[in-house]
Amino acid sequence: MKNYDVVVIGAGPAGLAAACEAYQNGARKILVVERDKEPGGILNQCIHNGFGLHYFKEELTGPEYAGRFEDMLKKTDAELMLDTMVLQISNDRQVTMMNPRQGCFTVQAGAVVLAMGCRERTRGAIGIPGTRPSGILTAGAAQRYINVEGYMVGKRVLILGSGDIGLIMARRLTLEGAKVLACVELMPYCNGLNRNIVQCLNDYNIPLYLSHTITEIKGKRRVEGATVSEVDKNRKPIPGTEKYFDCDTILLSVGLIPENELSRNAGIKIDPRTKGPVVYENMETSIPGVFASGNVLHVHDLVDFVTAESQHAGAAAAEYCKQKTEGKAGSEPCIKMVCGSDIGYTVPQYIRPERIDKSVDVFFRVRRNFSTSSLDVTSGGQKLISYPRGHMAPGEMEHITLPKQLLNKAAGGEITISAKEVQK
């Protein structure tokens, strides 16, 4: 069995950044396994710009952003194995994989970084009434057909859900000559970034119907139309509000789900809120030496944050291999991050204060829209610190930086983050 210091599963933005950073931190035998025929992951089909504003301080397209990390990876000794699917990870970090060249084989990893990304929710997950013709596809599948394969998926398009990929595809389809009739969102707020609402819908006069959903799909063989209804506070359709759209295509942008089948089978603890692994401050999962970062951990809005998180995971994986961080497992003090009012989840879920140098970043999402607001950090009923915020929305990931001294004040091993409205 071949031995590696670090095995990274996935060569999308998360995997590439983790591998590069593991190398920078001293890991030498690195294997990056990718199921596709080229690295880059989903960025390869994201040909629009807006990537890298935070990390590179410039606007890149998806393939350009991925390309920079591919170049960085080439400068390391890391081995990139393409067209290869990981089938299993054992809890002692043996990774079994398969490809057409070598068949099925297993390698031993000192540390593993999970960077498998996420997948899109489908029609079956949300149960839209009506027939089941062709022409109903996820926004990502449409993006692949158009941007990678060079084919159009329809002429008159209705988009259900206001995730970023849906918004991006509204613009893309319009530029390709299709008529995008509307974007319909069940929730009273948009799930995508504000900049995408402006640049992809408003600029092209595509209406956004909030608190609406598709209540019937029509068409025997191919989509022939769809009925859209307004929903009440309990998200139930309101009779009498039906609008009919004459469309041949329905794109779904109704949420992303971290792809954790491998993690689950390995016995890694999954957070039901993020649907990703529960992690410590260094992105280590419940299995020692197995780390996770990027969309497999929690769904991000911006690739720049995926990169930062993955660098963190990659560095920690390299450290783990050097055996520097082992020995105290289980006995170390550990703070549990608790979701207070209107906080959907946090990443990390646990913080081991002894492993923090200066501060730790905690990422999370709020559950509803806020205008002027504040984020309160409390422990044992005592307020530790408060961060003023302006507008906050579920579609935009938030983060706070907790200084080490603050962690030392955590009573009962818990820290709670809550969001609240502030009167002007």
Partner 1 sequence: MYDVTVIGCGVIGAGIAYELSHYALSVAVVEKENDVACGTTKANSAIVHAGYDPEPGTKMARLNVEGSNMMEGLCKKLNVFYKKAGSLVIAFDNSDMDILKELLERGKQNGVKDLRILTKKQTLEIEPGLSHEIVGSLYAPTAAIIDPWGLCIAMAQSAVLNGAKLFLNSTVGEITDEGGFYRIKAGNNVIETKYIVNAAGTFADKINNMVAKPFFRILPVKGEYYILDKSEGSLVSHTIFQAPGKFGKGVLISPTVHGNLIVGPTADAAEGPEDTSVTAQGLEKVMKTALRSDTHVNFRESIRNFAGVRATADTRSDFIIDASPDAPRFVNAAAIKSPGLSSSPAIAKEVRSILESIGLVCEEKDFFTDYRRETLFKLMTAEEKEKALKSNPLYGRVICRCETITEGDIRSVLNGPIPPVSIDGVKRRCNAGMGRCQGGFCGPRVHEILSRERKVPMEEIVQDRADSYLLTGETKMGRMENEKL
* Residue 400 interacting with partner 1 (CB under 8 A): no
Look up residue 336 and give its amino acid. Answer: K
* Residue 221 interacting with partner 1 (CB under 8 A): yes
Place of tokens 């990139």: 80
Shortest separation between residue 75's beta carbon and partner 1, angstroms: 23
Look at strands 2-9 and 30-33 and give their pairing.
parallel
Q: Which of 58, 74, 91, 151 binds partner 1 (CB under 8 A)?
A: 151
Shortest separation between residue 340's beta carbon and partner 1, angstroms: 24
What is the number of residues in the chain?
Answer: 424
Per-residue b/e over 50-88, b at no fewer than 16 CB within 10 Å? bbbeebeeeebbbbbbbbbbbebbeebebebbeebebee
Nearer to partner 1, 135 or 163 (CB): 135
Closest to 355 in 3D by CA, of 394, 407, 303, 417: 407
Shortest separation between residue 100's beta carbon and partner 1, angstroms: 4
Nearer to partner 1, 76 or 260 (CB): 260
Q: Which of 5, 21, 34, 120 binds partner 1 (CB under 8 A)?
A: 120
Q: Give the number of residues in contact with partner 1, rule: CB under 8 A.
A: 52
Site string for partner 1, 314-343 (x = CB under 8 A): ------------------------------
Q: Which of 58, 59, 92, 176 binds partner 1 (CB under 8 A)?
A: 176
Instruction: Count Cβ atoms below 10 Å from residue 327 Cβ, excluding itself.
Output: 8
Closest to 131 in 3D by CA, of 227, 213, 253, 237: 227
* Residue 260 interacting with partner 1 (CB under 8 A): no
Q: Which of 58, 71, 87, 412 binds partner 1 (CB under 8 A)?
A: 87
Nearer to partner 1, 222 or 269 (CB): 222
Closest to 260 in 3D by CA, of 119, 90, 111, 365: 119
Nearer to partner 1, 20 or 139 (CB): 139
User: Do residues 158 and 245 make contact, with C-beta atoms less than 8 angstroms apart?
Assistant: yes
* Residue 94 interacting with partner 1 (CB under 8 A): no
User: Do residues 252 and 123 make contact, with C-beta atoms less than 8 angstroms apart?
Assistant: yes
Q: Which of 54, 59, 104, 371 binds partner 1 (CB under 8 A)?
A: 104
Q: Which stretch binds partner 1 (CB under 8 A): 70-78, 212-220, 356-364, 383-391?
A: 212-220
* Residue 275 interacting with partner 1 (CB under 8 A): no
**DSSP string across 216-248:** EEE-SSB--EEEEEEB-TTSPBPTT--EEE--S
Shortest separation between residue 49's beta carbon and partner 1, angstroms: 17
Exposed/middle/buried for residue 418 (C-beta within 10 Å: 0-12, 13-18, 19+): middle
* Residue 248 interacting with partner 1 (CB under 8 A): yes
Q: Which of 57, 75, 220, 424 binds partner 1 (CB under 8 A)?
A: 220
Q: Which stretch binds partner 1 (CB under 8 A): 70-78, 117-125, 181-189, 412-420?
A: 117-125
Question: How many CA atoms does the CB half-sphere of 130 hold within 13 Å?
Answer: 24
User: Do residues 224 and 248 make contact, with C-beta atoms less than 8 angstroms apart?
Assistant: yes
Q: Which stretch binds partner 1 (CB under 8 A): 22-30, 83-91, 387-395, 410-418?
A: 83-91
Distance CA 418, CA 248 (A): 44
Q: Which of 54, 74, 195, 222 binds partner 1 (CB under 8 A)?
A: 222
Shortest separation between residue 131's beta carbon and partner 1, angstroms: 5
**Secondary structure (3-state) at 289:** coil
Shortest separation between residue 305's beta carbon and partner 1, angstroms: 24
Nearer to partner 1, 224 or 361 (CB): 224
Q: Residues with Cβ < 8 Å from 139, sequence gap 6 or more?
A: 120, 159, 161, 163, 165, 166, 168, 169, 251, 252, 253
> Which chain residues interact with partner 1 by CB under 8 A?
35, 83, 85, 87, 98-104, 119-120, 122-125, 127, 129-135, 137-138, 140-141, 144-146, 148-155, 176-177, 215-217, 220-222, 237, 248, 261, 264
